[in-house]
Structure 1
């Protein structure tokens, strides 16, 4: 296929097949996920954000605490979910040159008003949840583990998502297994699990129009999630946004405070259950590819590639590359971002720098989060990123370090 017709996705999502839509006697997706990942019973929601809303709403019921600590660099939907629940987001700065929350900063801002702390695994790389647990326990706060981008990852044999009190995953496009939009909620605590189910029953309605919409979108994903289809569905809108200088729109960070809540229908669940059987081999293939390519990127002078801590086994939808400076990152992206090679940015800003969050979050002293946002780019780990494509990316990064 000529390069002009190809587009590599920025993340490695599991492709669906049309036969996934056919009726079949597959087990429930909840059962399949629990068995595959060695999880306790799981709960399906319409998005990772919806799962977080259910978790926060549940914890809020029996507590007068109203503050929720979140990383200053994370998906803006996390802050919007906290605000949706009538709670106060409190931003925690990062460790230098990392996406993890700084333990020193976290110690200072956690107090007797802290309802929950949300450590976040990014790009399949695992956060230091153990340190967060210790700090949260000292002030009586809960830990909600944001494993939205880490379905299938583990730490010392324990699934990511089970390292805190509550965990959630995303089943959105590009996050491995997908229902187009979907979320998974999990906890080891049987009593808390029943409370989460009761909260979901109370606040999440059935909306047929949303389910029909998601089914059409899932069909579109099945048809177009391939290099030729992505040129139209993803590449053309991306380059249009880049030409206009609309970077938030280019990465899809233009979120609304109106977060949809609705139940996931049986047909979409069965599609996900059929695709789930292919997930382990897909993740294994991505891990093998990433192992070679991350070493080659990390060997570039001045470049760091986010990797797993000891004992962790992450997933690899893309590689997070930290460039030496904002100038070098932007110079590389000028060549790579519009080129159809799957190079992108994860989140455009640290949270307080999004115009639609500024009024709610106010001024924040988070220099490490801002520095990380200014220097980081992502390189797709899609199987459609050919060796020749990777060599082009490698050469550009070499040139601009």
Structure 2
């Protein structure tokens, strides 16, 4: 499959709605970003790590320290490959749970069958900032004595019943990577509900995440470059050109950003990047209100297209970095990608495959999950899902054009 060049090489919508940084955010300074985010989320405790994946690695090590006989982590079959790699990095064993049909949520019946005395943790995901119901997952965890770690990578600022998403579970992970709302280029936040888990997470971080000056220097330069380039006029160079190069050779993994190293480097984020994050954090609530209002205005246009099913929050109020939706079938999903992916309008994929279909995860994924008949709902979803950026830089006229393309393709046999 070949993809066309962007119609307008001077304009590029990012694949997700990240909070733009101001050059004034980059002035020298020192700050405690974890404390600022704890206040933002109205929680007692937040722990800063070098990425969302690093936060997950720290959390899993901490829980395994508390329950060394438990070694199984259950994850949804459609989620970021970094989740599976993090479990493997901790020396733990994966079990893969299918999703409910046409849903981003784990199948609670299958989940119950996977839980036993060896289960350390269950990881429900609030994918693309959409809030999933986690009560059935929490019930399964309580029944077998496991912990619940909510993967809320893109949901920093989401709320359920007036509280931050994840506060009813044992641990919650947020990401501050590029495009995840607030960013320090790479960063992660971990919140834990009780004092025992908090102490274990702090102890694991002190043991596993040292100061790495060279890594921090690289991240600082990347953050400065991001602040300069994250704008529609410069994104064709920073994002669009590599994207179109990957699509020209049919490399969907590179195009979707799905190639990851086997191990995540753990280190301590420096004070300057924390100061940048604290300054930007002051604008996050207003930014999220703006893009949420934009998403709610645009959802009816997607609902009106026969055959298109946009994903919405199952409860609470999520963040809206993207509008995620299901197409009727793979052929029409791929036809939309053929027409729009790489055209600068923010149409993309969340992840290319369900977890068992990434060849680099073959040694990590259980053999039973790799069978062709296994996990049918997650695999079907992976062939039908796509995302539309909810960046404020995607104007109404361009969004209407995207909807026209979706409607035209959905009418095709």
Partner residue in 1 for 2:4: none
Find 1:127's aligned residue among 125, 132, 141.
132
Query: Does residue 183 of structure 2 align to residue 193 of structure 1?
Result: no
Unaligned runs of 5+ in 1: none
CA deviation vs aligned residue, 1:51-77 (integer Å, no higher than 9, x gap):
000000011113201110000000000
Structure-1 separation of matches of 2:364 and 2:49: 26
Decide whether the 8 Å contact of 1:115 with 1:142 is kept in 2: yes
Identify if the C-alpha distance between structure 1 residues 85 and 150 changes in structure 2 by more than 3 Å, giving closer, same or farther. Answer: same
Query: Does residue 381 of structure 2 align to residue 372 of structure 1?
Result: yes
SS at match of 1:137: helix
Structure-1 separation of matches of 2:138 and 2:230: 39
Partner residue in 2 for 1:137: 142
RMSD: 1.1
Find 1:150's aligned residue among 155, 171, 180.
155
Partner residue in 1 for 2:391: 382
Decide whether the 8 Å contact of 1:74 with 1:351 is kept in 2: yes
Partner residue in 1 for 2:406: 397
Structure-2 separation of matches of 1:228 and 1:81: 35
Partner residue in 1 for 2:280: 275
TM-score using structure 1 length: 0.97
Decide whether the 8 Å contact of 2:64 with 2:70 is kept in 1: yes
1:208-219 residue pairs with structure 2 within 5 A? 208-219=213-224
TM-score using structure 2 length: 0.95
SS at match of 2:336: helix
Deviation (angstroms), 1:24: 5.1
SS at match of 1:278: helix
Find 1:241's aligned residue among 243, 246, 257.
246
Decide whether the 8 Å contact of 1:352 with 1:363 is kept in 2: no
Deviation (angstroms), 1:253: 0.5
Structure-2 separation of matches of 1:143 and 1:348: 26
Query: Does residue 227 of structure 2 align to residue 222 of structure 1?
Result: yes
CA deviation vs aligned residue, 1:299-330 (integer Å, no higher than 9, x gap):
100110000124x1111000001001011100
Structure-2 separation of matches of 1:392 and 1:45: 40
Partner residue in 2 for 1:172: 177
Deviation (angstroms), 1:379: 0.3
1:340-351 residue pairs with structure 2 within 5 A? 340-351=344-355
Deviation (angstroms), 1:4: 2.9
1:1-400 residue pairs with structure 2 within 5 A? 3-23=8-28, 28-63=32-67, 64-310=69-315, 312-361=316-365, 362-364=367-369, 365-400=374-409
Query: Structure 1 residues 176-185 or 363-372, which shifts more?
Result: 363-372
Decide whether the 8 Å contact of 2:149 with 2:172 is kept in 1: yes
Decide whether the 8 Å contact of 1:227 with 1:384 is kept in 2: yes
CA deviation vs aligned residue, 1:215-243 (integer Å, no higher than 9, x gap):
01001100100111110110011011011
Query: Structure 1 residues 33-42 or 277-286, which shifts more?
Result: 33-42
Deviation (angstroms), 1:190: 1.8
In the alignment of these two chains, the number of paired residues is 398
CA deviation vs aligned residue, 1:286-308 (integer Å, no higher than 9, x gap):
01000011111111001100001
- Structure 1 residue runs of 4+, over 3 Å off? none
Deviation (angstroms), 1:388: 1.3
